[in-house]
Every structure is written in C-alpha cells, then in structure tokens.
C-alpha cells in the first residue's frame, strides 16, 4: 500500500478546491454515516457539521479553502481551512472514507492546509478532534501540531474526549 499521494499521478482519485451542487450534502452525509458507524455518534453530529459548513459556504471569505476528495464522481473525503480570526485559522471537516484511507491522502490534505495557512500569513492554525481518532491525532502530530486542551463531554449521543491541537506558524 502506498504511503504518499500524488494527485497528478492518480487516475481515479482527485482533489478539488471548488464546490459544486450537492457537495455540502455529500460532506454532511459522509460525516454522519461514518461517525455513526465507527464511533456511535447520533444524528445530532450531522447538525454540528452542517451549520458551520453552511456558514463557510455562504461567507465566501478570503483566507479560506476547501479540499474535496472525489473518486469516480463521488465525494469520498474533505478538509477545510476556516478563518477563525484575522491571525488564526481552524482546520475542519477532515475525513476520508475507509476505502481511500492509508494512501497518503489525509497527510497530503493536512500539508496543503498548513501550506495554505502560511501563504495566507496566519500566525497559527488549530483544530478540534476526539481522542478515539488515533490515526488522525498521529497525522496532526506528524505535521507539527501539539495537543493543547482536552475536554470530556457528553455529545452526539455518546461520551467523548475532545482534543484541541495547535500549530504555531510564525
């Protein structure tokens, strides 16, 4: 299994930065079904994804970007950089369908997100995840992120430990 992803050399999996009709629904759906199946999250998690995603799409703000992983015309993953403040960005909605994990796509998207944040002159980037996402945490750590906070809460129909990771860019 390959560990690096080169979008230029991949025939069936592509990454694009523009939204098309149906993409928002696909992102919410993918999050909803995968987090329910893999971690027991309930339907409220979809609202957690959908509300800020809709705001992101409506804002059309500078300093933001989305990455959509598409395979054979179907959305199989996503990630986005959202402007949080003038100097701080948030990495959101990083998710890959299990069928395309393990090929370096997630690492590629995180690297692209960090590169984008540097180009936009953000001073830092942060993200929230949950402790059960071990592979994601390893990915963030390999990109230089450090865990800075933990919070155990009951949400999305289950008890989770949220973790915040930060990366100082300047």
Superfamily of segment(s) 7-122 = Gcn5-related N-acetyltransferase (GNAT) (3.40.630.30)
Local confidence pLDDT in tens for the 170 residues of the chain: 233 556 555 668 999 999 999 999 999 999 999 999 999 999 999 999 999 999 999 998 899 999 999 999 999 999 999 999 999 999 999 999 999 999 999 999 999 999 999 999 999 999 999 999 999 999 999 999 999 999 999 999 999 999 999 999 98
What confidence score (pLDDT) does residue 10 get?
Answer: 61
Spatial CA neighbour of 169 closest among 146, 149, 148:
146
What confidence score (pLDDT) does residue 1 get?
Answer: 28
d(CA 105, CA 14): 10
Q: What is the DSSP letter of 4?
A: -
d(CA 55, CA 48): 12
3-state secondary structure of 119: helix
> Which ranges of the chain would DSSP assign to H, the alpha helix?
23-39, 44-59, 105-119, 134-142
d(CA 65, CA 49): 16
Residue ranges per structural domain of the chain? 7-122
What confidence score (pLDDT) does residue 3 get?
Answer: 39
What confidence score (pLDDT) does residue 151 get?
Answer: 96
85 close to 63: Cβ distance less than 8 angstroms: no
DSSP secondary structure, 61-94, as one string:
-TT-EEEEEEETTEEEEEEEEEE-SSSEEEEEEE
d(CA 162, CA 58): 27
């Amino acid at each position: 299994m390959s560990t690096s992803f080169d979008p230029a050399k991949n025939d069936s999996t592509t990454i694009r930065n523009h939204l098309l009709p149906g993409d928002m629904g696909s992102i919410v759906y993918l999050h909803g079904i995968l987090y329910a199946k893999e971690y027991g999250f309930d339907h409220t998690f979809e609202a957690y994804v959908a509300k800020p995603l809709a705001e992101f799409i409506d804002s059309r703000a500078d300093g933001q970007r989305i990455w959509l992983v598409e395979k054979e015309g179907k959305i199989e993953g996503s990630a986005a950089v959202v402007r949080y403040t003038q100097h701080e960005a948030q990495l959101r909605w990083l998710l890959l369908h299990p069928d395309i994990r393990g090929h370096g796509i997630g690492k590629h998207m995180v690297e692209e997100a960090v590169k984008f944040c540097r180009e936009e002159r953000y001073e830092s980037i942060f993200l929230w995840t949950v402790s059960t996402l071990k592979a994601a945490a390893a990915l963030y750590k390999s990109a230089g992120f450090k865990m800075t906070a933990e919070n155990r809460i009951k949400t999305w129909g289950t008890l989770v430990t949220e973790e915040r990771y930060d990366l100082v860019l300047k």
